[in-house]
């Protein structure tokens, strides 16, 4: 499992959560797309974040969807599922969901790809608007491979 270390950056404008480590941010800055969201005043220092003390950043969420769209089609698990499905849609499910093989809550469905004749249709990815970066069950979990792509692409960003 990929270690997911969220870092809170305290700034004059507010407290922001990111996946980028301190040494990277001190050298290259913290671009808007790398900010998962804002930690609200009601959060206790060192305490657990909740949906009430966190506001998601749309720019990050859109960036994350771009990573999913670019890299999920390359992954064996999605190609295998497409071959089994043949036609229809397959969905990228947030790994935090308690029932991945059963009924998945709308907030845990990240996006979907159309499948035709056992293959993912190019450029068919659709983000699911009801997906939440944080729920009562914690922050989003992409799974190891997609998480690695996300962190790598975030690290390529530079703040202006």
Position 1 in a domain: no
Instruction: Specify if 122 maps to a domain.
Output: yes
8 A C-beta contact, residue 145 and residue 71: yes
Asked if residue 111 is part of any domain, the answer here is yes
pLDDT digits (tens, 9 = 90+) for 41-69: 766 666 678 899 999 999 999 999 999 99
Asked, for residue 2, whether it belongs to a domain, the answer is: no
Q: Can you point out the beta strands (E) in 33-149?
A: 35-39, 54-56, 88-93, 109-116, 119-120, 126-127, 134-135, 138-139
**pTM for this model (two decimals):** 0.91
Instruction: Give pLDDT tens digits for 24-36.
Output: 999 999 999 999 9
3-state secondary structure of 113: strand
Beta bridge partners of 87: none
pLDDT at 1: 32
13 located within any domain: yes
Q: Find the domain containing 94 and state its range.
A: 7-156
Could you tell me if residue 115 is inside a domain? yes
Q: What is the tally of structural domains in the chain?
A: 1
Residue 147 lies in a domain: yes
* The predicted structure's pLDDT at residue 41: 77
Q: Is the pLDDT of residue 113 over 60?
A: yes
State the pLDDT confidence band at 149, using cuts at 50, 70 and 90. Answer: very high
With both helix axes pointing from N to C terminus, report the angle between 58-71 and 144-156 in degrees, rounded to the nearest 10: 120
**What average pLDDT does the segment 124-149 reach?**
96
Query: How far is the C-alpha of 99 from the C-alpha of 11, rounded, in Å?
Result: 38
How many residues can be counted in the chain?
160
Give CA–CA dist 4/2, Å, rounded.
Answer: 6
Mean pLDDT calculated for residue range 82-111: 94
114 located within any domain = yes
């Amino acid at each position: 499992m990929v270690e997911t270390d969220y870092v809170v950056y305290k700034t004059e404008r507010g407290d922001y959560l990111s996946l980028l480590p301190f040494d990277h941010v001190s050298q290259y800055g913290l671009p808007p797309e790398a900010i998962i969201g804002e930690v609200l005043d009601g959060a206790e220092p060192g305490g657990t974040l909740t949906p009430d003390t966190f506001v998601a950043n749309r720019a990050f969420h859109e960036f994350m969807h771009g990573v999913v769209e670019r890299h999920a089609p390359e992954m064996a698990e999605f190609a295998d599922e497409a071959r089994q499905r043949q036609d229809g849609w397959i969905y990228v499910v947030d790994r935090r969901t308690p029932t991945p093989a059963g009924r998945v809550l709308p907030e845990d469905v990240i996006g979907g790809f159309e499948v035709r004749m056992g293959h993912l249709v190019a450029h068919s990815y659709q983000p699911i608007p009801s997906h939440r970066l944080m729920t009562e069950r914690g922050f989003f979990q992409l799974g190891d491979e997609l998480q690695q792509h996300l962190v790598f692409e975030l690290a390529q960003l530079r703040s202006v």
